[in-house]
A and B are shown apart, each in its own frame.
Chain A
Amino acid sequence: MSDSHGGHGALAHHFEDLEQQREAHTLGMWAFLVTEILFFGGLFAAYVVYRSAYPEAFANASNQLDPVLGGINTAVLIGSSFTMVLAVHAAQQRRKWAIFGWLWTTIVLGTAFLGVKYVEYHHKWEHHLIPGPNFLFEGQPGGSEQLFFALYFSMTGLHAFHMVIGAGILIWLSVLALKGRFDEPGRNAVEMAGLYWHFVDLVWIFLFPLLYLLGRHQ
């Protein structure tokens, strides 16, 4: 989203009009998100293969996770997606204080998610559930349950990393909002950040049942 040289403030010189510029921004963001789908997709494929190879170990290991904490975090993340939508809505109406407020509500919810994640990781650390030489499962040294936890930490870790980056982007946008960056029409940065934030929510919608709930009914 580069500044143009004179003329229409928000319109970069290589675009015909704001609508074409917006279309290009949206398409570019989606091209990035497609690579993200396949980035996480590789981990989901590994999950499918190992879960079908060791179904019992996966179900038992899954029962070590806390579905209440996972469920609360799912609701928190969905809530943050909702406040992100409100930030995008405010950006379309160019109300900078509303943009600022909803961005920060989203950042606070995202941070709460990461705080719960920290509590969960700490619990796994204390119970020797980190894959490696000190791994213990129900008093026994590591079996196939390690595979579940290796995938658990890779998938939720990569997801949490995306949230940290997302929160950083939202903080940056909240500063730009106060500086009046989104006061004129044709500024799409908040909406593009929203696409990224919702994508991260989308990944968690699949991670929650696949990691936390798969062995519950046994």
Chain B
Amino acid sequence: MSASHDAAHADHGGAGLKLYFAVFAALLVGTWLTVWVAGHDFGVWNTPIALAIACTKAALVLLYFMHVRWSSRVVWMAAAIGFVFLAILLAFTVSDYATREWLEIYSAPLKGR
């Protein structure tokens, strides 16, 4: 792929094969890393570390494989809004269940055994 060819596709939603291959390699390294860290105990950080690696991999897929990096602002907004609403869904769900036991009037239907 020549440089001029890559430039021609940059504004058309795409990139050169080298970049795609680098992203592919990074995703495989990320997979290996997430398996590796799972074999070690980082205490309360186990899940945050796993999620941080997953989010990094997800960002690579979104930006490069899904071409969001080269997409218009309205596409950026559409893509982002999905994750904003997901964050709202998770935040309100967790804030409800995590705080139910604060009030003794509730019999806490979900209690660890």
Give the CA-CA distance A71 to B37 in the complex, in Å. Answer: 13
Q: What is the chain A residue whose CB lies nearest that of B34?
A: A209
Chain A nearest CB, measured from B77 CB (Å) = 9
Most B-side CB within 10 Å, residue of A54, A82, A92, A209? A209
Chain A contact residues, majority secondary structure: helix
* Interfacial residues, chain A to chain B (CB-CB below 8 A): 22-23, 26-27, 30-31, 33-34, 37-38, 41-42, 44-45, 48-50, 52-57, 67, 71, 74-75, 78-79, 81-82, 84-86, 88-89, 92, 143-144, 191, 194-195, 198-199, 201-202, 205-206, 208-210, 213-214, 216-218
Chain B residues with Cβ under 8 A from A209's Cβ?
34, 38, 50-51, 53-54
Q: What is the chain A residue whose CB lies nearest that of B110?
A: A53
Chain A residues with Cβ under 8 A from B110's Cβ?
49-50, 53
Given A201-B61, A209-B38, A218-B41, decide whether A37 and B83 contact each other with a Cβ distance below 8 A: yes
* Interfacial residues, chain B to chain A (CB-CB below 8 A): 9, 12-14, 17, 20-21, 23-24, 27-28, 31, 34-35, 38-42, 46-47, 50-51, 53-54, 57-58, 61-62, 65-67, 71-72, 74-75, 78-79, 81-83, 85-86, 89-90, 93-94, 97-98, 110-113
Report whether A217 and B58 are in contact in the complex, using a CB–CB cutoff of 8 Å: no
Chain A nearest CB, measured from B62 CB (Å) = 7
Chain A residues with Cβ under 8 A from B111's Cβ?
53
The number of residue pairs between A and B whose CB atoms lie closer than 8 Å in the complex comes to 148
Q: What is the chain A residue whose CB lies nearest that of B11?
A: A19
Report whether A48 and B93 are in contact in the complex, using a CB–CB cutoff of 8 Å: yes
18 CB < 8 A contacts A-B:
A26-B71, A27-B74, A27-B75, A42-B89, A52-B97, A52-B98, A74-B31, A78-B31, A79-B24, A82-B23, A85-B24, A144-B113, A201-B65, A209-B34, A213-B34, A214-B47, A214-B50, A217-B38
